[in-house]
């Protein structure tokens, strides 16, 4: 069964165990299901959050992180994390920016110097460009959830190590589960390849909708790459229009709807006018 199928089965079982044997999935298809899943993954408002850390083993195992009931608990556990060596050199744990109610979840690679200093993701020049790109398709930063694969800065911005990715991934996975987004946007090769567990190039991964744990995921250029290659702005904008169309319910070309065997790039009728240039004036090199 697909990951979305697994999620649906688990959800229905949970509802049944809660004494709700007669569950009707309202017409609404994937969106209706996602709304139900959002409700159930967050649990009741009065969910017991206090004392969560006291019940964890010293570093928090993967299973314990994945069982954390609310985003605040995940944040607190991440803030104290020593699961990999990056804790020794970080100034801040860069957990995320945005609300757990967001419909769009954006994932980058790892914090840089600005993020390490402020504790917030994507706050440098690349982040400002990302904000403008998202806004150009109707996603103000205040309405999206932004995080990175790694929550701590690799010294000197070196590439993340496999063991760092493995240690940190449960936090991102739990973030995704708790936000339950309608679409995930992976910015850059690293985020895309890590989330999708592939070595395929960005070029091949763009232009179609993937699934991450049952959630639609689209891949686009990293905004820092756009600062170096402004010619990639328009393709990025088109990728983000795909995300917009998924949220608007105008596009369902997930692997499920295409059929499991179909891995070809699906075309999108995203329009050809190009991004509004006043919103996307580019600066120079990222540094
Ligand atoms: N690049 C990233 O991938 N993430 C950030 O938070 C900042 C720059």
Report d(CA 115, CA 26) in Å as an integer: 42
pLDDT of residue 51: 73
The per-residue DSSP string of 67-106 comes to T--SHHHHHHHHHT--SSGGGGT-S-----BS-TT-SEEE
- The residue assigned the tokens 């996307």 is 280
pLDDT of residue 49: 72
148 ligand 1 Cβ < 6 A? yes
What tens digit of pLDDT does each residue of 254-272 get?
887 776 444 434 444 344 5
111 ligand 1 Cβ < 6 A? yes
The per-residue DSSP string of 189-245 comes to HHHHHHHHT----HHHHTTS-EEETTEEEEEE--HHHHHH-GGGHHHHHHHHHHHHH
Nearest to 218 by CA among 188, 239, 245: 239
pLDDT of residue 259: 65
Report d(CA 61, CA 266) in Å as an integer: 39
Ligand 1: centre distance to CA 132 (Å): 15
Ligand 1: centre distance to CA 117 (Å): 13
User: In this structure, what token pair is assigned to residue 272?
Assistant: 């050809």
Ligand 1: centre distance to CA 10 (Å): 34
| Helix, strand counts (H, E) of the chain | 12, 5
* 152, 94 Cβ separation under 8 angstroms: yes
Ligand 1: residue of 95, 109, 165, 286 to mutate (most ligand atoms within 8 A of CB) is 109
Return the SS3 of 61: coil
pLDDT of residue 264: 38
| Number of the ligand 1 atom closest to the C-alpha atom of 121 | 6
Nearest to 267 by CA among 189, 206, 197: 206
Nearest to 97 by CA among 70, 79, 122: 122
Per-residue model confidence as pLDDT tens for the chain (287 residues): 455 555 666 666 666 566 554 554 444 555 666 666 666 555 544 456 767 777 777 778 999 999 999 999 999 999 999 999 999 999 999 999 999 999 999 999 999 999 999 999 999 999 999 999 999 999 999 999 999 999 999 999 999 999 999 999 999 999 999 999 999 999 999 999 999 999 999 999 999 999 999 999 999 999 999 999 999 999 999 999 999 999 999 988 888 777 644 443 444 434 455 666 655 544 333 32
pLDDT of residue 46: 42
* 213, 3 Cβ separation under 8 angstroms: yes
pLDDT of residue 251: 83
221 ligand 1 Cβ < 6 A? no
Ligand 1: centre distance to CA 108 (Å): 5
Return the SS3 of 52: coil
- Angle, in degrees to the nearest 10, between helices 162-179 and 29-42: 100
108 ligand 1 Cβ < 6 A? yes
Q: Radius of gyration of the chain from Cα atoms?
A: 19
pLDDT of residue 150: 98
Ligand 1: centre distance to CA 111 (Å): 5
């Amino acid at each position: 069964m697909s990951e979305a199928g697994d999620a649906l089965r688990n959800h229905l079982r949970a509802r049944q165990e809660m004494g709700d044997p007669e569950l009707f999935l309202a017409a609404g298809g994937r969106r209706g299901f996602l709304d139900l899943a959002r409700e159930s993954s967050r649990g009741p408002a009065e969910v017991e959050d206090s004392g969560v850390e006291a019940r964890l083993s010293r570093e928090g195992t993967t299973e314990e992180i994945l069982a954390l009931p609310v985003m605040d608990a995940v944040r607190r556990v991440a803030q104290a994390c020593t699961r990999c060596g990056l804790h020794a050199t970080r100034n801040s744990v860069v957990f995320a920016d945005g609300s757990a109610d967001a419909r769009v979840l954006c994932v980058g690679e790892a914090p840089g110097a600005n993020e390490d200093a402020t504790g917030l993701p994507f706050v440098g020049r690349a982040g400002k460009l990302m904000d403008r790109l998202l806004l150009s398709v109707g996603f103000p930063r205040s309405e999206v959830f932004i995080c990175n694969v790694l929550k701590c800065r690799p010294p000197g911005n070196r590439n993340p190590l496999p063991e760092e990715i493995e240690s940190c991934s449960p936090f991102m996975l739990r973030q995704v589960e708790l936000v339950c987004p309608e679409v995930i946007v992976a910015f850059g090769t690293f985020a895309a390849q890590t989330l999708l567990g592939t070595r395929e190039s960005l070029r091949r991964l763009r232009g179609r909708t993937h699934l991450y744990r049952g959630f639609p995921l689209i891949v686009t250029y990293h905004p820092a790459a756009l600062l170096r290659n402004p010619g990639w702005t328009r393709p990025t904008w088109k990728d983000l229009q795909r995300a917009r169309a998924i949220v608007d319910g105008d596009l369902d070309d997930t692997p499920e709807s295409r059929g499991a065997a179909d891995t070809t790039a699906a075309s999108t009728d995203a329009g050809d006018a190009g991004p509004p240039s006043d919103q996307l004036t580019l600066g120079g090199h990222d540094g």
